Structure 1
Amino acid sequence: MDVLISGAGVAGTALAYWLRHHGFTPTVVERAPRVRAGAGVVGLRGEALDVLDRMALLEQVKALHTHLGGTPRPDGDGDPPAVAFAGDLQILRGDLVGLLHEAACQEVEYVFADSIASVEQDPAGVRVTFERGRPRRFALVAGADGLHSRTRSLAFGPRERFIRHLGIYTATFSLPGHLGLPGSDRLPGMAGKAAGVLTIRDNAKAHAALHFASGPLAYDRDDVTQHKRIVAGRFAGEGGPIPRLLEETSRAQDFFFDVNAQVEMDRWSSGRVVLLGDAGYCAAQTSGLGASQALIGAYVLAGELADASGEHTAAFAVYEREMRGFVAEHQQMGREGADRFFMGTPLHEGVGMVAANVPEVACGQIVRLKDYAPSFAATRP
């Protein structure tokens, strides 16, 4: 059974791995010319670590644990306090996607520098046209193309119907070392703004983040030069290390800018098209749990398709039932994190995203990871 996956991020690449594991034939289409590196740090915890273990990747992730550093503030005894993070492990997003891609790419077709233009469903499958490649037919289509999912717009309707804006924009980018800047979790406060510099692996690397409060902005999502101008304008006139950070944005090759928002949908499938990760249920960067949610969703979706021998209607229904409570709690954490974002608490997750601003306890809603047998191969046409 051929399955098209739109998006080669955490969710899409993990889904490709698990679908192939279960005997399906996945194809991944990615609009970027290569696997995206990205500057952010992601937190991984709970069942997501179990998924990585089942992929035989957990030890490699542990080896790439960032060991985020900074300038700790001593407690009353003069000793540096323990720093709490939203994830049990932290890893550069690019490192995580690279590991997933390496695990999947040997047996999965990847099509880079292209994207879905249209989907036409019929009882037997889905005809997909692409921006550049020739049309092809697939049994199923999975949208794992993020907050601004084209797949979601094509199959479910305009993005405005599903996006909840949380009032914060974030820019992240790498620094060539810590540049003598204060390596702290949050730089001196500014009204409606926040900045952070985090050192990684004993100061061998550093990443910066700039955040500002704003209502919805109109801009070209593909115009990085415009993104840098927006950030520079918002932080113009600020002192301290801000001018140096703005100077570094002009050189950053991995500059990322986006809104903190959530995707809220009554259903995650429409016929033979299904959504996962941020495309279907983004919890926002302020939850600190997007990568974990994507890994778990990919595992469950692929496993349910295998258990149902490819019968997508039944599989999609169980996938949604298994994930709904888990997603709802993560989204609540994301909203609470956004509400408290500029209240002065430390920033850690996602290079300055909120970890200390959301509960440090384990989620009440969990996904019981089933042991899905790779049995679909026997029935594959």
Structure 2
Amino acid sequence: MTKSKVLISGASVAGPALAYYLQRDRYDVTVVERAAVPRASGYAVDFRGAALDVLAEMGILAAIREHETAMHGTVLLDETGSEIGQLPAEAFAGELEVPKQVLTRILHEITSADVEYVFGDSISALTEHESGVTVEFERGLAREFDLVFGADGVYSKVRQLVFGPHDEMVCHLGLSGAGFTSDNYLGLDHSGLLQSAGNTAIYLFSAADRDRLTVSLSFATDSPELDRRDRDEQERAVRAAFAGNGWQTTHLLDAMTAADDFYFSSSCQVSLDRWSRGRVALIGDAGYCAAPTSGAGTSQALIGARTLARALADADGDYTTAFATYERELRPYVAENQSNGRAAAALFGGQGSTDGVDGQ
């Protein structure tokens, strides 16, 4: 019997997790990833609730736990840097937290023997026909697949090609920010500090590497337009937003300019009426990003992968029935996470709400 051939776009978390389940269920799986090698970016990801069951089912929970950050909690500060409260570790670290590169490395390791990975390439066109999908690539030759899955993040190329422009589905939460690491000059030990002042917030923590301090400088914005600007313009925007702030701000802004791991992103959610169209379906942030402020992105990716794979298995390959089951079962969970993400955005200087986003 010929195996169904599936293509997954994206090799971060949702993509390899789905690949694991589909190859186990005897699909012929290919994963295409724009990056030249498995991604080693990102500072920490956390797992909550049923996501831990997914890790256990995949046989990697013990290996993941070996790298736990073991955060103790976060101290809340006022504008002067004086303590005004505390948040428990699970507020940011969930039930289990590890450096993101640990998760992506392990997911790649457990799938690479049975899954074809194509790095350094990306989908450029998708044409569905009666018996499958013709996929064109930026570099490689066109190929035929039975099903295509977009696991390629908030600005998913698969979603753009099949569902429409980003601005119709990506909703800004009124929050943008810079992230980087510096020397741990404050001596934090598996702990964090969070200071909110007006429409800005500073979040600092040290965990896996006690010599390094992870820094997040977030502030209110009207759109995610800065994501598309160069670093110099992004830094100028950060400095303008934090001008006049006291406490550690001057030192942190100087550390930002010196950092070699600077990144900038905006908190957004993805809202679609449906997560599939024909033989193409979306998973993880590509279909239903709840924003980093939800603390649920990684858990959604893992639970979504298992839910989708189970739906396909139960439907015996009837993708139309499977995709409908996948959406019906997962939407309530996603809606709750998106609501939490909007509410938490205000804590970091954002608006805390957007028009037209309801998880539906």
Normalised-by-shorter TM-score class: 0.7 to 0.9
Quote how far apart the aligned CAs of 1:340 are.
4.0
- Structure 1: gaps of 5 or more residues: 74-79, 344-353, 355-381
Q: 1:362 — aligned with what?
A: none
Please say if 1:51 is aligned against 2:73: no
Quote how far apart the aligned CAs of 1:316 are.
0.6
The amino acid that maps onto 2:123 is I
> Residues 236, 26 of structure 1: CA spacing in aligned structure 2 closer, same or farther, 3 A cutoff?
farther
The amino acid that maps onto 1:62 is R
Note the alpha carbon deviations across 1:296-355, whole angstroms, 9 max, x for none: 001111222222232211111111111011111111111111234449xxxxxxxxxx9x
**Cα pair 1:39 1:173 within 8 Å, conserved:** no
> Residues 17, 226 of structure 1: CA spacing in aligned structure 2 closer, same or farther, 3 A cutoff?
farther
Quote how far apart the aligned CAs of 1:222 are.
8.1
**Cα pair 2:71 2:89 within 8 Å, conserved:** no
Quote how far apart the aligned CAs of 1:125 are.
0.6
CA distance in 2, matches of 1:298, 1:67: 26
Quote how far apart the aligned CAs of 1:239 are.
4.0
Aligned-residue sequence identity (percent) comes to: 45
CA distance in 1, matches of 2:321, 2:58: 25
Please say if 1:122 is aligned against 2:125: no
Structure with greater strand percent = 2
Matches within 5 A, 1:66-77: 66-68=69-71
> Residues 221, 9 of structure 1: CA spacing in aligned structure 2 closer, same or farther, 3 A cutoff?
farther
CA distance in 2, matches of 1:221, 1:107: 36
Q: Secondary structure at the match of 1:26?
A: strand
Please say if 1:272 is aligned against 2:284: no
Please say if 1:85 is aligned against 2:94: no
CA distance in 2, matches of 1:194, 1:121: 46
> Residues 252, 129 of structure 1: CA spacing in aligned structure 2 closer, same or farther, 3 A cutoff?
farther
Quick one: which of 61, 68, 84 aligns to 1:65?
A: 68
Matches within 5 A, 1:1-381: 1-68=4-71, 83-86=89-92, 87-175=94-182, 177-180=183-186, 185-201=192-208, 203-219=210-226, 221=228, 223-224=230-231, 226-342=233-349
> Residues 70, 248 of structure 1: CA spacing in aligned structure 2 closer, same or farther, 3 A cutoff?
farther
CA distance in 2, matches of 1:52, 1:241: 38
CA distance in 2, matches of 1:266, 1:81: 35
**Cα pair 2:74 2:89 within 8 Å, conserved:** no
Q: Secondary structure at the match of 2:26?
A: coil
**Cα pair 1:117 1:129 within 8 Å, conserved:** yes
**Cα pair 1:272 1:312 within 8 Å, conserved:** yes
The amino acid that maps onto 1:59 is A
CA distance in 1, matches of 2:156, 2:130: 24
Q: 1:377 — aligned with what?
A: none
**Cα pair 2:74 2:193 within 8 Å, conserved:** no
**Cα pair 1:126 1:141 within 8 Å, conserved:** yes
Q: How many pairs were matched up?
A: 338
> Residues 72, 12 of structure 1: CA spacing in aligned structure 2 closer, same or farther, 3 A cutoff?
same
> Residues 155, 119 of structure 1: CA spacing in aligned structure 2 closer, same or farther, 3 A cutoff?
same
The amino acid that maps onto 1:119 is L
Quote how far apart the aligned CAs of 1:98 are.
1.4
Note the alpha carbon deviations across 1:170-210, whole angstroms, 9 max, x for none: 322233x4134667633544321111211114724431111
The amino acid that maps onto 1:264 is S
CA distance in 2, matches of 1:222, 1:14: 32
Quote how far apart the aligned CAs of 1:105 are.
1.4
**Cα pair 2:35 2:121 within 8 Å, conserved:** yes
CA distance in 1, matches of 2:328, 2:29: 24
CA distance in 2, matches of 1:81, 1:232: 27
The amino acid that maps onto 1:215 is D
Tell which has more relative contact order, 1 or 2 (C-alpha 8 A, sep 6+): 1
Quote how far apart the aligned CAs of 1:116 are.
0.8
CA distance in 2, matches of 1:145, 1:190: 34
- Structure 2: gaps of 5 or more residues: 77-85, 353-360
> Residues 227, 33 of structure 1: CA spacing in aligned structure 2 closer, same or farther, 3 A cutoff?
farther
Q: Secondary structure at the match of 2:113?
A: helix
The amino acid that maps onto 2:222 is G
**Cα pair 2:195 2:203 within 8 Å, conserved:** no
